[in-house]
């Protein structure tokens, strides 16, 4: 069971797009795009630059969806 937090303000559920009302329970889900842990050093005009190949964002999901997400997780 993911950790639920009481909403301090209204949020939109990332999965079902319904409104998470202020005071109701929600959980956070971190979603990654690409490979956030993958970093390579590239030479950009003579300057070594660290390039990150992805990023991570945190989305709000309602308690109903967090239960469903938990079931489908490996
Ligand atoms: Zn939802």
Ligand 1 mean position to 34 CA, how many Å? 24
Structural domain that includes position 25: 5-72
Query: 11-49: per-residue pLDDT in tens?
Result: 999 999 999 999 999 999 888 999 999 999 999 999 999
Q: What is the pLDDT of residue 67?
A: 85
Order the strands of the 25-44 sheet from edge to edge.
Answer: 5-6, 25-44, 47-62
DSSP 70: H
Q: Is the pTM above the cut of 0.95?
A: no
Ligand 1 mean position to 33 CA, how many Å? 21
What is the per-residue burial (b if ≥16 Cβ within 10 Å, else e) of 40-69? eeeeeeeeeeeeeeeeeeeebbbbebbeee
**Number of domains forming the structure of the chain:** 1
Ligand 1 mean position to 58 CA, how many Å? 15
Ligand 1 mean position to 13 CA, how many Å? 5
């Amino acid at each position: 069971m993911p950790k639920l937090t009481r909403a301090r303000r209204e949020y939109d559920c990332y999965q079902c797009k319904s409104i998470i009302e202020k005071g109701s329970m929600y959980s956070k889900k971190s979603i990654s795009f690409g490979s956030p842990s993958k970093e390579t050093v590239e030479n950009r005009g003579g300057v070594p630059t660290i390039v990150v190949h992805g990023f991570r964002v945190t989305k709000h999901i309602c308690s109903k969806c967090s239960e469903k997400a938990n079931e489908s997780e490996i």
